[in-house]
Copies of this chain bind each other. A is one copy, B any other.
């Protein structure tokens, strides 16, 4: 029987802290404000947006929506971004991606001021994660993994961490953030040989492959802590992760569930970045 590292208590603690910081800012006349920029109306985006807006409302962050039609021109979006950069009353910007085909992702990302980049999409933010300096903000899902590990007091310094998956939104930044905590970090990719053996070397395994149920008992051993970033809908229509929870849970010391784990913490991280950006603006 392992400990289930639920997201809910992490979220509750973060909400409480964010609400207190928002209140303090509002007393100084600063209303922490997030710009949400959405092109079109993809199902995924709408659902995430709804979650973000609810979380913001709960802690006292204002949201301004900037909605463009799916066939908007790049110039229009660049004008919106420039307006957001120039507006001192907006502290952070969430831009939904991937964008429709007519947009050049690189150009759009470069158009955002790193200090408003609360979702970690600019070169400034990514360089900040890589170099461990306070430029921009790390990608929220990567930070959510670390928030969970810290909330549950999982030791990291000197421990071995294995990160499976090397995306720029989770794997690589999570590896850098684990290194920052003085873990010895191994970054695995789809060419990694003997993945089960490599995973079993770890004290902490962060799984961010985007492959449903890929990691099971053969990759795991007693004493480990597993963070499952994957989120999929299985044949029975139920949410599940990259880890076969039923196999993993009896083996390891602690594991994040799906749903109710990393995913739930992500929006709280996003909101905390907006609050931090507002604090820096004072």
Main secondary structure on chain A at its contact with chain B?
mixed
Q: Considering the chains assembled together, what is the distance between the CA atoms of A219 and B142 in angstroms?
A: 32
Residues of B within 8 A of A127 (CB): 123-124, 126-127, 130
Any B CB within 8 A of the CB of A166: yes
A158 CB contacts on chain B under 8 angstroms: 191-193
Judged by a CB distance under 8 angstroms, whether A186 is at the interface is yes
Number of interface residues of A (CB under 8 A): 33
Give Cα distance in the complex from A128 to B127, angstroms: 8
Please indicate the chain B residues that have their CB under 8 angstroms from the CB of A126 in the complex.
127, 130-131
| A89 at the binding interface (Cβ < 8 Å) | no
Chain B neighbourhood of A168, CB < 8 A: 130-131
Please state the number of chain copies in the assembly: 2
Residues of B with C-beta under 8 A to A128: 123
Assuming the contacts A129-B130, A168-B131, asked whether A186 and B185 have C-beta atoms less than 8 A apart, the reply is: yes
Residues of B within 8 Å of A191, CB to CB, are 157-158, 182, 184
Tell me if A63 counts as interface (CB < 8 A to partner B).
no
Instruction: Report how far A91 CA is from B49 CA in the complex, Å.
Output: 44
- For A133, the chain B residues whose CB sits under 8 A away are 106
- 1/0 contact string of A121-143 vs chain B (CB within 8 Å): 00110111111010100000000
The smallest C-beta distance from A187 to any residue of chain B, in angstroms, reads 5
A38 CB within 8 Å of chain B: no
The residue on B at minimum CB distance from A185 is: B187
A179 within 8 A of B: yes
Question: Are B192's CB and A184's CB within 8 A?
Answer: yes
Known contacts A127-B130, A131-B172; can you find 15 more A-B pairs with CB under 8 A?
A123-B123, A123-B124, A123-B127, A123-B131, A127-B127, A130-B168, A158-B192, A160-B193, A160-B198, A175-B187, A179-B187, A184-B187, A184-B191, A184-B192, A186-B186
Q: Which residues of A contact B (CB under 8 A)?
A: 106, 123-124, 126-131, 133, 135, 157-160, 166, 168, 172, 175-176, 179, 182, 184-189, 191-193, 198, 201
10 pairs, CB–CB < 8 Å, chain A vs chain B: A127-B127, A127-B130, A130-B172, A131-B168, A159-B193, A179-B187, A179-B189, A184-B187, A185-B186, A201-B201
